[in-house]
Structure 1
């Protein structure tokens, strides 16, 4: 069985909509896949540090992990950063090494520095020895109806009012399919 983890923070639920689309897509793809979806909650952050041993243990069993956070002031939200910092507890032992990783983010501007958030997520994955998967589609790929904002690193979405463009949702679905496909290949 392939396990895909999705760890995310959402405030206005735009990131949550991307994650929901991805989770629904995995359910359609295969019955031999388990999705571990975890929303970072405020009560899990104690003295500035994310504390949830159970989810950390579950993520260690995943073949692939997708990180998702809105872009706040050019990076991940503080709540997601607290989670990322907590992964340093097992960084030295490289317990995520060889796992597939990908990222999703959103912002209110068409170019609200979402790429820098994805760069941060990619750096986090690299520090853990993970294998980063981006989008293999050029800007606004008409054939695949994905990548509206033209970022190859992962999913970037934009919303002013809490609703998402269908292309952004398609991008989330497409990215999770890629993570699943590559995770399956690596598991052979």
Structure 2
């Protein structure tokens, strides 16, 4: 059975979307069915223009009713003061109908992220989003430390045991590095392997 994985992101300046491309490569290496989505923007065009934000990527905007179609989820979240931005929180808050039905219970989820600095909240962004998974009864799949790029001290590398990631600099000028993209691809591959095993167990239980 092929697992269907939704890669759901919010990206103002493109850093998360760049990491997501490598995440998808990793997912597809395993044969998993990867689908890209972004959450809805809550800022006006006027505000985004003042922020010098580029046009949104040509990625479908997800609605909560689509979530049960997937076998697993990788959420790409930029950090705002050590937690998820309002746009992502608004999407998570809109899943109450799914919660009442426990429609997402037992499904695996992981995270990747971006920050403006090495200590800008990559881990706390995941930590403060875990209650969403807990209330839905979802299964958090951390990255752990299986890849050598998590141990390098030769250069700045985003990511940790909590998931893959990138460091954008406070002005957003730094795009994901080769090591960060390698880690993201590995992350996608590792997550897909786990999600596929879980989806097979669920399928067997239904037989």
TM-score scaled to structure 1, two decimals?
0.83
Higher share in strand: 1
TM-fit CA distance, 1:95: 0.7
1:118 matched residue in structure 2: 126
Write the mapping of 1:141-160 to structure 2, written as runs, cut at 5 A: 141-142=147-148, 145-146=149-150, 148-149=157-158, 151-160=160-169
Task: Go from structure 1 to structure 2 and tell me whether the alpha carbon gap of 1:83 and 1:54 turns closer, same or farther (over 3 Å shift).
Answer: closer
TM-score scaled to structure 2, two decimals?
0.76
Q: CA RMSD in A?
A: 2.4
8 A Cα contact 1:107 1:158, kept in partner: yes
8 A Cα contact 1:68 1:104, kept in partner: yes
TM-fit CA distance, 1:3: 0.4
Distance 1:44 1:53 in 2: 15
Q: Over alpha carbons, which structure has the higher Rg?
A: 2
Which consecutive unaligned segments of at least 5 residues does structure 1 have? Answer: 46-51
Task: Tell me how many residue pairs correspond in the alignment.
Answer: 176
Task: Go from structure 1 to structure 2 and tell me whether the alpha carbon gap of 1:109 and 1:65 turns closer, same or farther (over 3 Å shift).
Answer: same
2:175 matched residue in structure 1: 163
Distance 2:118 2:183 in 1: 16
- CA deviations over 1:87-112 (Å, ceiling 9, x no partner): 12221221111111000110111110
Task: Go from structure 1 to structure 2 and tell me whether the alpha carbon gap of 1:8 and 1:54 turns closer, same or farther (over 3 Å shift).
Answer: closer
Query: Which runs of structure 1 show a deviation greater than 6 angstroms over 4 or more consecutive aligned residues?
Result: none
- CA deviations over 1:107-161 (Å, ceiling 9, x no partner): 11111012111112322112211111111216xx42xx34745621112321221
* Residue 4 (str. 1) matches residue 30 (str. 2): no
